[in-house]
Amino acid sequence: MDWEAIFNNAAVELISPTTAAYALAALGLAVHFGYTGLLNFGQAGFMALGAYGYAISILTFGFPVWGAFLVGVGASVVFALILGIPTLRLRADYLAIVTIAAAEIVRLLFTTNTFASVTGSANGLSGYKNGFAALNPLAEGSYGFGPFENNAYDTWLRIVAWSIVILAALFVWQVMRSPWGRVIKGIREDEDAVRALGKNVYAYKMQSLILGGVFGTIAGMIFALPRAVVPSNYQTTLTFFIYAILLLGGAATVLGPIIGSMIFWVLLSFFSGFVSRAVEAGWLPFMTTIQGGQLRFILVGVAIMLIVIFRPQGVFGNKKELAFVR
Amino acid sequence: MSANAGLDPVAPLEPPVPTQKPIKTTGLHVGDAEPGCRKVDPILVVDKVRRSFGGLTAVDVDHLEVPRGAITALIGPNGAGKTTLFNLLTGFDKPNDGKWMFDGRSLAGMPAYRVARMGQIRTFQLTKALGLLSVMDNMLLGAKGQTGENMFRALLPFLWRTQEEANRAKALDLLTRFKLDTKKDDYAASLSGGQRKLLEMARALMSDPTLVMLDEPMAGVNPALTQSLLDHILNLKSQGMTVLFVEHDMHMVRHIADWVIVMAEGKVVAEGDPHEVMKNPAVIDAYLGQHHDEDIGQDPGAETEHVSAIKELLDDER
Ligand SMILES: Nc1ncnc2c1ncn2[C@@H]1O[C@H](COP(=O)(O)OP(=O)(O)OP(=O)(O)O)[C@@H](O)[C@H]1O
Ligand SMILES: [Mg+2]
């Protein structure tokens, strides 16, 4: 068994753009769920809007990179308003139902053949990376070391992706320790109490929904840059993986979503490499290669369960919070 | 509790009495003290406010005025509609119809947060402490007009740091008065039920309200603390605030209230000076039910309950 290759491939995921994308999307959910108590089950929808907004703006309308970026962000602000205006005055569970449905509607609109000329239907879109690659200031060549060695484009993508994640994390860290964050956390605890103190709870919830949604959208763009945009990537399972990352890292924390995403992807890659090699080596004679591909998710699930059982507040969560039954 | 240390445990518990002799405000009303009577200087005027839940009319107040600068008690049996009236007046619930004015401005249809910003602050019967926020953060949330509560200004701490420090000092002062200063860094969830009542009241005072509406502020607070709570309420009056509070304990009502409003089955059935209003037959009716002549004596358990209720009502001037 080639342990070195297994560990190498796992280490690659530590700083891969996909890990950054999941971290950013999870940070958005931390704003929604961890800090504000909003049950957004449609983060995949926000990500899809980012990916498609970026790709369509470039491919169909010939926008520059920054224009495509703004289109994606604008689309997610509109999406957040559509979701929030009718539901944020109602009980928390209504937002959950509406977001899960709306995210599916978004995915199906991108899948349907009706708009195939723009969306590429089930085949999705590709060929939108030139603009981003043209911005690359790095000369051709190879950068980094060991498992983190990449060509100029991949290095550039990693630098941009992780810079955005760090900026977003600093943003969340700062606003959550400000009076604004205090109102947001108060809403999570009891919105009527906050209302009774003269705060416009509805407006704060809307700001939170938009902020976390925009993070999800930018994550969708980062997610799209190393691959093609395919609608089947944006299913509800994507939202649940991001929730798993969030709970793994700690829901109301800034570092939790980032480290959670790293743990998730490193584990996934490790188990994937291990299982496929174990099947090849005949260690698991009852299993086909395809079944092995499924097994990795089971193993990741078990690993996450163990972490959550022994550290229920998440890696960075505050243990004291769990002492109080709500 | 150190305040209790000196108490002899076998001595009969005296009902808590404020340490200072309350100065009663009088001459609040115009004409007879009847339900809906006019006040010399009303801060809150309620007109034909009605709220029904399905077939049940929880609140049906024809006219009601709350006097400014005084302590008014709102009493009535369980289910009389006191909390529902509070919810309506503070924008937490919408009436079927009716209008009401606070400080000369109509509040009908105004959302709860704007009512609060106008200076009419309420607390809740079922305490709403923000459990996973520290006691200090709970207090700071109560402060009005905070620059840092805007998301973009929140990013620039130098814009709000001075204001935050001032609010913190004010919060600490209030917490000290409510004997919660040692708990300031604890989660509010770690407070006892009575301490949460105190925190909620202190938090409401952070915004310097003009009208404080307290829904059963003493429920579950121990006698020693009740004393200081009564003192706090009297202090609010001496600082020029108006207090409207719901309370079931007649002794306290009698000791601190300048005016008493009695509700039953959604209506205001009596109003008056706390010593006079208890003698009003409508109040006794309200507490015993309209048909007490008929069914009293049929249920021996109910009878003792009724007798003790009457005793408490008539047990004036102790
Ligand atoms: N949301 C609601 N839905 C249906 N009925 C309600 C609702 N809120 C209150 N009621 C009813 O309205 C009536 C008045 O209730 P309310 O809570 O105002 O009483 P209260 O005077 O505050 O009583 P207590 O002294 O026990 O607190 C009760 O009969 C109650 O059952
Ligand atoms: Mg009540």
Q: What is the model's pLDDT at position B4? A: 43
The verdict on B103 and B156 lying in the same domain is no
Q: How far apart are the C-alpha atoms of A51 and B128, rounded to whole Å?
A: 42
pLDDT > 80? residue A48: yes
> Does B5 map to a domain?
no
Query: Ligand 1 atom 12: the closest Cα is on which residue?
Result: B58
The verdict on B220 and B113 lying in the same domain is yes
What would the mean pLDDT of A103-119 be, rounded to a whole number? Answer: 91
CA quadruple B298, B303, B306, B307: dihedral sign: positive
Query: Ligand 1 atom 28: the closest Cα is on which residue?
Result: B79
Q: What is the model's pLDDT at position B2? A: 42
* Full residue range of the structural domain in which residue B231 is found: 42-129+209-317
What would the mean pLDDT of A197-220 be, rounded to a whole number? Answer: 96
The verdict on B67 and B143 lying in the same domain is no
> Which of B190, B219, B241 is the C-terminal boundary of a domain?
B190
CA-based R_g, chain A, Å: 20
What would the mean pLDDT of A140-159 be, rounded to a whole number? Answer: 88
What is the enclosing helix (H) or strand (E) of B59?
Answer: strand B56-67
- Kindly state whether B79 is in contact with chain A, defined as any CB-CB distance less than 8 angstroms: no
Domain at B220, CATH number? 3.40.50.300
Q: What is the model's pLDDT at position B313? A: 62
pLDDT > 70? residue A46: yes
What would the mean pLDDT of A114-126 be, rounded to a whole number? Answer: 88
> Does B57 map to a domain?
yes
Band of residue A121 on the pLDDT scale cut at 50, 70, 90: confident
Locate the chain B residue with the closest alpha carbon to A186. Answer: B130
Above pLDDT 90, what percent of chain A?
A: 60
CA quadruple A307, B188, B214, B43: dihedral sign: negative
Q: What is the pLDDT of residues A2-19, one digit of tens each?
A: 888 888 888 888 999 999
- Kindly state whether A77 is in contact with chain B, defined as any CB-CB distance less than 8 angstroms: no
Give, to the nearest 10 degrees, the angle between helix B300-314 and helix B281-288. Answer: 150
Helix ranges (H only) for chain B are: 82-89, 112-117, 135-141, 151-154, 161-177, 193-205, 223-238, 250-256, 274-277, 281-288, 292-295, 300-314
Ligand 2: centre distance to CA B85 (Å): 9
Q: What is the model's pLDDT at position B24? A: 79
The verdict on B77 and B157 lying in the same domain is no
What would the mean pLDDT of A134-147 be, rounded to a whole number? Answer: 87
The verdict on B103 and B149 lying in the same domain is no
> Does B23 map to a domain?
no
Q: What is the pLDDT of residues A249-258, one digit of tens each?
A: 988 899 999 9
> Does B139 map to a domain?
yes
The verdict on B220 and B102 lying in the same domain is yes
- Chain B 90-149, CB below 8 Å of chain A: which residues? 90, 92, 111-114, 116-117, 121-124, 128-133, 137, 140-142, 144, 146-149
What would the mean pLDDT of A282-305 be, rounded to a whole number? Answer: 80
Q: How far apart are the C-alpha atoms of B287 and B182, rounded to whole Å?
A: 41
Q: What is the model's pLDDT at position B312? A: 64
Ligand 1 pocket: which of B82, B87, B89 to mutate (most atoms within 8 A of CB): B82
Find how far residue A196's CA is from the centre of its chain.
35
Q: How far apart are the C-alpha atoms of A214 and A74, rounded to whole Å?
A: 8
pLDDT > 70? residue A108: yes
Q: What is the model's pLDDT at position A324? A: 64
The verdict on B124 and B136 lying in the same domain is no
Q: What is the pLDDT of residues A54-96, one digit of tens each?
A: 999 999 999 999 999 999 999 999 999 999 999 988 888 899 9
The verdict on B284 and B180 lying in the same domain is no
**Spans of chain B below 50 pLDDT:** 1-13, 292-298, 300, 303, 317-318
Q: What is the set of domains in chain A, with CATH numbers?
A: 3-322 (1.10.3470)
> Does B201 map to a domain?
no
Amino acid at the residue A294: Q
Q: What is the model's pLDDT at position B276? A: 83
What would the mean pLDDT of A297-312 be, rounded to a whole number? Answer: 81
> Does B160 map to a domain?
yes
Tokens of A276: 């496929």
**Ligand 1 binding pocket, CB closer than 6 Å:** B 53, 56, 58, 76, 78-84, 125
Q: Which of B122, B132, B133 has its CB closest to that of A196?
A: B122
The verdict on B146 and B289 lying in the same domain is no
What would the mean pLDDT of A102-110 be, rounded to a whole number? Answer: 94
The verdict on B141 and B248 lying in the same domain is no
Q: What is the model's pLDDT at position A91? A: 80
Cβ-contact A213, A28 below 8 angstroms: yes
pLDDT > 90? residue A325: no
Q: What is the pLDDT of residues B50-64, one digit of tens each?
A: 999 988 999 999 999
Mean per-residue pLDDT over chain A, rounded: 90
The tally of domains found in chain B comes to 2
> Does B6 map to a domain?
no
- Kindly state whether B166 is in contact with chain A, defined as any CB-CB distance less than 8 angstroms: no
Q: What is the model's pLDDT at position A176? A: 95
| Position with higher pLDDT, A296 vs A173 | A173
Residues of B with Cβ-Cβ distance to A194 under 8 angstroms:
130, 141
The verdict on B70 and B213 lying in the same domain is yes
Q: What is the model's pLDDT at position B226? A: 83
Q: How far apart are the C-alpha atoms of B178 and B211, rounded to whole Å?
A: 19
Band of residue A141 on the pLDDT scale cut at 50, 70, 90: confident
Ligand 2: centre distance to CA B125 (Å): 6
Q: What is the model's pLDDT at position B314? A: 61
Range in A53-57, A139-143, A208-212, B22-26 the model is least confident about: B22-26
Backbone torsions φ then ψ of B264, nearest 5 degrees:
-150, 135
Nearest-10 Cα torsion for B295, B296, B301, B302:
80
Tracing tokens 């609140």 back to the chain, one arrives at B59
Q: What is the model's pLDDT at position A326? A: 47
> Does B37 map to a domain?
no
The verdict on B218 and B109 lying in the same domain is yes
Locate the chain A residue with the closest alpha carbon to B157. Answer: A178
